[in-house]
Amino acid sequence: MLAILNSDTRMNMVYQYLKNKMECILLDDFTVLKMKFDAILLPMSGWKDDGAMVVRGIDMKCPIEFFDMIKEDGVIICGNMTPKIKELPYRKIDLNSYEAFIQANSKLTAEGVLFLLLDNTNQGLLDLDVDLIGYGHSGKAIYELLKRIGVKIRVVRRVVLEESSDFVSVDEYLGLKPSSIIINTSITNIIDDLMIHKMDENLIVNLVRSASFNEALLRQRHCRIVHAGPLPAIFSPQSAAHVMQETLMDILYEK
């Protein structure tokens, strides 16, 4: 039996998709039931350092006893293998180790970024100047989508391999003036105080949970920052749930 923690709309919809295909249960809190599960699907954000997990959109403390419901040979499935999860004595499966899952969610993330640009700017898309920091899976999907629709975009990456004026190295970028819109997909903090001092009324869209910025200085420069959160779950939960349930079927079939 699979237990699914009801962290958000996406997880609720995953349960709705799967309940007619396999034995599963949706958990709305951390009540320890008198039953054992073959696998537990945790929220994508994982079990945080402070002991909290997201349930129904709210951070709630998760007692260690909660994991007593997993069978000895059971599995924890998650998209963010935090240190606290790694310490648990069960087999773990990282959703983000599945290429099809990563690619599908990267495309949904790119579509969510498009919505954020429309919602947080007063210009048409073709009038925007965008810097995209980072060129991993999500960065590549964002670049390809925005480029396809004609947005002027500059990609900042550690090592430039592309023969295109759209791409600049970090070292080169640090000597340039930032574009009016910056999309951050990098865990490395490129947007430091020196970079912020070059800004004036810029918009920063941050897609990385662990990224930190000098937000007081950004406010002094009249800049805005949008911490985007899990865009597939926010803007396209039905599609995101479909991607996840297909991945889970593959995982459980392999198991």
Provide the percentage of residues in the chain whose pLDDT is more than 70: 99
What is the DSSP code (8-state) at residue 33? -
Q: What pLDDT sits at residue 255?
A: 47
Q: Each residue of 87-137: pLDDT tens digit?
A: 999 999 999 999 999 999 999 999 999 999 999 999 999 999 999 999 999
Q: CA distances (Å), 4 to each of 15, 25, 97, 113, in order? A: 7, 6, 19, 27
* Residue closest to 139 by CA, chosen among 113, 100, 117, 168: 113
What is the DSSP code (8-state) at residue 211? -
Q: Each residue of 43-86: pLDDT tens digit?
A: 999 999 999 999 999 999 999 999 999 999 999 999 999 999 99
- Measured distance between the N- and C-terminal CA atoms of the chain, rounded to whole angstroms: 13
Query: Tokens 């959703």 correspond to what residue?
Result: 95
Domains and CATH numbers, the chain: 2-97 (3.40.50.720), 104-233 (3.40.50.720)
Side chain identity, residue 86: K
Let me know: does 46 contact 80? Beta carbons within 8 Å: yes
* Helix axes of 137-148 and 99-120: crossing angle, nearest 10 degrees: 50
Structure tokens at 241: 């749930």
Q: What pLDDT sits at residue 254?
A: 65
Pairing of strands 203-206, 224-227: parallel
**Rounded to two decimals, what is the model's pTM?**
0.89
Structure tokens at 206: 């941050």
